Amino acid sequence: MEIGIVIFGAGRWGVHLVRNFLNHPQSQVIAVVDPSPKQLQAIQERLQLDRDIMLIESWKEALELPGITAVAIATPASTHYDIISAALKKGYHVFSEKPLTLEYSESVALCKLAEQQQRQLFVDHTYLFNPFVQTGKTIVAEGRLGDLRYGYATRTHIEPVRPDVDALWDLAIHDICILNGWLQETPVEVQANGIVWLPQQPPQSDLVMAKLTYPSGFQAFLHLCWLNPDKQRRLGVVGNQGTLIFDEMSADKPLVIQHGHLEYLDDRWKAVDVSQEVVAVEKAEPLAQVCNEFLNCIRQNTTSQISSGWMGAKLVGILCALNDSLQQRGKTIKCDQS
C-alpha cells in the first residue's frame, strides 16, 4: 500500500525530497506546497511532475487534502512548529527538516504531541544515514584511534545566507550530530562566540567559533562561517593512536585514518608509525536511506532508532545552549540533559 505524502517547501532541499519520495515504490506524492508560485513552477519543470500532483501555495489548505498519511516539511525553521503541530493534530505522520524548531520547549511539546496522537515524528538528520559517517562510528567504537583526545570541525562556504537564523543555527547541527553519534554521548556544557559582518536586521552571527564538552571530558571545537569562499566540510576525531577524518570535499578519500603517535627518542618527541589509511566505503545516497527509514517507521508505527523527534529535540537543546552562550559573549552554558 502506497503512503500518501504532501511535501512542504519547494526550495533546494525540497526538490530532493520530492524526487526521492517520487522514486520510492511505497510512497505517493499527493501535493507540493510552497508560498512562491515561481518555486512551484520551477519544481514542476525540473522534475516533470505528473498533472495529478497538486501544486498549492497555502499549507493550511494542503492539510485538508484527501488521502494524506504523512507530510514532509522542508520550510524555514521558524515555520516548523506551526506546521508540524497542525499536521500532528490532523493525525498525520511528520518528517521534518532540521532543526526541529528554534526553541527547545517547542520541540519537546511536538514530541509529546506525536506520542499522544500515536504518530511518528521523524527529523531528517541526513548525515546519520551517510555511509562514511556510519563507518566512522564503527571505527571509533572499535577503539582503533586509541584513547580519544579531542575533536574539530570546519564548515564554511560563501552562501547561502539564511534570513531567519544565523550561522550557528544553520551549520552547527550537522557536526554536532556526527560527533554525538561517533562518541555515543551528548555535550554537558558549551561555549560560543560570534562575529557579525553583514548588515542584517536583526543582526546575525556570520562567523561562530564553538566548543562542546562531553561527559567523558572529550572536547570538540567548531568553526562555522557562511562568508568564506573556501568551502570546507571537514571533521576529525583525534586519539593517541591516530585521527579519523571525514572530509566531504575530498572526492577520492572522504574518510581516512591518519595513523601515528609521538615517542620520546633521542631527547625529543618524534612522530612514529605515521601512515594514512583510506577507508573503503560503499557509496549510497543518504537522503534515499532517510526517506526509506521514515516510510518504514510509518508502516510499522515504530519510532526511528536513528533519527527520532526526541533526538531532534535534544539537538535543539544543545543549539539553544550554544545560542545562550553566543548572546552572553562566550559564557559557559550547561546543557539540559532531561
- Sequential pLDDT tens for the chain (338 residues): 799 999 999 998 999 999 999 999 999 999 999 999 999 999 999 999 988 999 999 999 999 999 999 999 999 999 999 999 999 999 999 999 999 999 999 999 999 999 999 999 999 999 999 999 999 999 999 999 999 999 999 999 999 898 888 999 999 999 999 999 999 999 999 999 999 999 988 889 999 999 999 999 999 999 999 999 999 999 999 999 999 999 999 989 999 999 998 999 989 999 999 999 999 999 899 999 999 999 999 999 999 999 999 999 999 999 999 999 999 999 999 997 65
Residues in Cβ contact with 293 at an 8 Å cutoff, skipping those fewer than 6 apart = 122, 129, 304, 306, 307
Radius of gyration in angstroms for the set of CA atoms belonging to the chain, rounded to a whole number: 21
208 within 8 A of 166, measured Cβ to Cβ: yes
268-278 sheet: strands from edge to edge? 268-278, 255-265, 242-247, 232-239, 148-156, 219-225, 207-213, 189-195, 333-334
65 within 8 A of 31, measured Cβ to Cβ: yes
143 within 8 A of 210, measured Cβ to Cβ: no
| Beta strands 3-8 and 70-73, pairing class | parallel
* pLDDT score at 202: 86
- Work out the angle at residue 25's Cα, subtended by the Cα atoms of residues 24 and 30, and round it to the nearest 5 degrees: 75
* pLDDT score at 190: 98
* pLDDT score at 337: 60
* pLDDT score at 277: 97
121-124 sheet: strands from edge to edge? 54-56, 27-33, 3-8, 70-73, 93-97, 121-124
* pLDDT score at 338: 59
pTM value is 0.94
Residues in Cβ contact with 216 at an 8 Å cutoff, skipping those fewer than 6 apart = 148, 183, 185
Q: Give the whole-angstrom CA distance, residue 314 versus residue 73.
A: 19
Task: Give me the residues paired with residue 154 across strands.
Answer: 223, 234
Q: Give the whole-angstrom CA distance, residue 118 versus residue 104.
A: 21
* pLDDT score at 322: 98
User: Which alpha helices (DSSP H) does 142-237 contain, by range?
Assistant: 167-183
Q: Give me 277's grid cell.
A: 589509511
